[in-house]
Structure 1
């Protein structure tokens, strides 16, 4: 009885395991990777060089386009602890 059970059920179990492994591998490959975009809030500088309270969604990953307020507005900067706008930030991948 045991050998008959093993002969009939074991191949089906192996096939089921192989199919589930194939689906898992495929789903892991198509899963979205963690975003390479490092989201940061950018701030528009005031006339005296300090940052205003206006926030603009930006990235700190270097790209050709700088992060701007709107399509042709002021460039957004990273803010330091003293509220100074020091480092220009870059546009997010999805536009802005």
Structure 2
């Protein structure tokens, strides 16, 4: 009797775990886009300025700029350096 119950419940348990895993994977992928990345402008020596702007690290067509579509390009500031080299992208 116990093996009959196990055979009937096992496919339902596997399907439930698969559906739960799919939802968890989808929620993890969209969670990273919610947090904006601080972008900084840079001077002629590529040093970061102190004017932060919200940007995104996900590659897109438009670069993140300080003021609209024509301002200075915003760059990522590494934690261990003051050199801004990696451009950031416009958030949605």
TM-score range (shorter-chain normalised) is 0.5 to 0.7
The TM-score with structure 1 as length reference comes to: 0.60
Using the alignment, how far apart are the partners of 2:23 and 2:11 within structure 1? Answer: 19
- Number of paired residues? 84
Q: Which runs of 5+ in 1 are unaligned?
A: 1-7
Task: Kindly report structure 1 stretches of 4+ aligned residues shifted beyond 6 Å.
Answer: none
| Larger Rg computed on CA atoms | 1
The TM-score with structure 2 as length reference comes to: 0.61
* Cα pair distance change 1:84/1:13, threshold 3 Å: closer
Instruction: Please tell me the root mean square deviation across aligned C-alpha atoms, in Å.
Output: 3.0
Deviations along 1:4-23, one digit per CA (max 9) or x if unpaired, are xxxx3321222112211111
From 7, 10, 16, the counterpart of 1:14: 7
Name the structure where strand makes up a greater proportion of residues: 1
